[in-house]
Amino acid sequence: MKKLLFTLALALPTLYFAQDTQKDKKCDLPSNYQEPAPDKKIQSFLKKVDATIEDLRKHVAIDNDCEEKDVVFLRISEQKGNGIYELCANGKPMKYKRMGSVFMKNSENPFDVAK
């Protein structure tokens, strides 16, 4: 009986943690998915320096060699000076950030000069 309980105590957590995670299916969007709406005041301010989400959409499409219609925003969190954008580009989840009027991947460090 002890062996059975010990085996179950080891097997159940292993099976639980071996399940698929939600990150793997982040870009499996339903056909009626609607992108989050950006703040109109912030977008009109950013239009002056070409840093709107439509400019980001063009930037991401060029980076990933896909069409602009293949870039879908999942989450938009922005202020006038910076922003974080989660999106799917051609079925691949990505994260971009904006510092001022410059867009870059979230993993990039703009101050890293040793490449």
How far apart (Å, rounded) are the C-alpha atoms in residues 67 and 12? Answer: 45
Percent of the chain with pLDDT over 70: 86
How far apart (Å, rounded) are the C-alpha atoms in residues 49 and 31? Answer: 33
Dihedral sign for Cα atoms in the order 53, 58, 61, 66 = positive
Q: What is the mean pLDDT of residues 71-92?
A: 94
Q: Which of 9-18, 91-100, 103-112 has the highest mean pLDDT?
A: 91-100
Is the pLDDT reported for residue 10 higher than 60? yes
Domain boundaries of the chain, sorted by first residue: 37-105
Answer yes or no: are the C-beta atoms of 75 and 66 closer than 8 Å: no
**Three-class DSSP category at 89:** strand
Q: What is the mean pLDDT of residues 39-45?
A: 94
Is the pLDDT reported for residue 96 higher than 80? yes
Query: What are the phi and psi torsion angles at 76 (to 5°)?
Result: -125, 120
CATH (one of 3.30.2030, 3.10.450, 3.30.70, 3.40.50) for 37-105: 3.10.450
